[in-house]
């Protein structure tokens, strides 16, 4: 599985933690789209870059991180074909995959404990879409 990951300055430290976890999984290839420091940058640029990598098929899924996860998730969701879920718990990560077939995960670097973020990431990657009644709903989203 190819995972694109990106952050702004507020999510940089957590992005690095998640990137290292992903690299150590063995079943994931990581494409790091930046940013590469805590120097101030604009989150829409990085959210869009990651979303475009997923939407184009260059990555199977994406992970985006800003200070709260809110802004960068909004940016990612502007790209056609993206369903980016902002998750603050493992339950949200599981349900955004099972019910929403989310292809991107957003988290907050300033609001999410690193250990919890790694568990959220694991659940997001290891959970499959249930389909069924949820497929009808994700099809409606895709038509928007």
What's the length of the chain? 144
The one catalytic residue among 9, 50, 66, 87 = 66
Peptide bond before residue 67 is cis, with ω within 30 degrees of 0: no
Strand arrangement, sheet containing 2-7: 29-32, 2-7, 61-66, 104-108, 84-86
The one catalytic residue among 9, 84, 87, 99 = 99
The H-or-E segment that residue 32 falls in is strand 29-32
Distance CA 91, CA 81 (A): 23
Reply yes or no on whether 99 is catalytic.
Answer: yes
The H-or-E segment that residue 61 falls in is strand 61-66
Per-residue burial over 55-83, b if 16 or more Cβ lie within 10 Å, else e, is: beeebebbbbbbbbbebbbbbbbebeebb
Residues noted as catalytic: 66, 99
């Amino acid at each position: 599985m190819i995972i694109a990951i990106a952050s702004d300055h507020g999510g940089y430290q957590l992005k690095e933690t998640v990137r290292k976890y992903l690299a150590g999984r063995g079943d994931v290839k990581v494409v790091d789209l930046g940013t590469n420091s805590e120097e101030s940058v604009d989150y829409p640029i990085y959210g869009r870059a990651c979303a475009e990598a997923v939407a184009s098929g260059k990555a199977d899924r994406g992970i985006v991180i800003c200070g709260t996860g809110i802004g960068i998730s909004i940016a990612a969701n502007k790209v056609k074909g993206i369903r980016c879920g902002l998750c603050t718990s493992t339950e949200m990560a599981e349900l955004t995959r099972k019910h929403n077939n989310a292809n991107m995960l957003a988290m907050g670097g300033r609001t999410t404990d690193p250990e919890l973020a790694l568990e959220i990431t694991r659940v997001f990657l290891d959970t499959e879409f249930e389909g069924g009644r949820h497929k009808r709903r994700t099809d409606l989203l895709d038509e928007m």
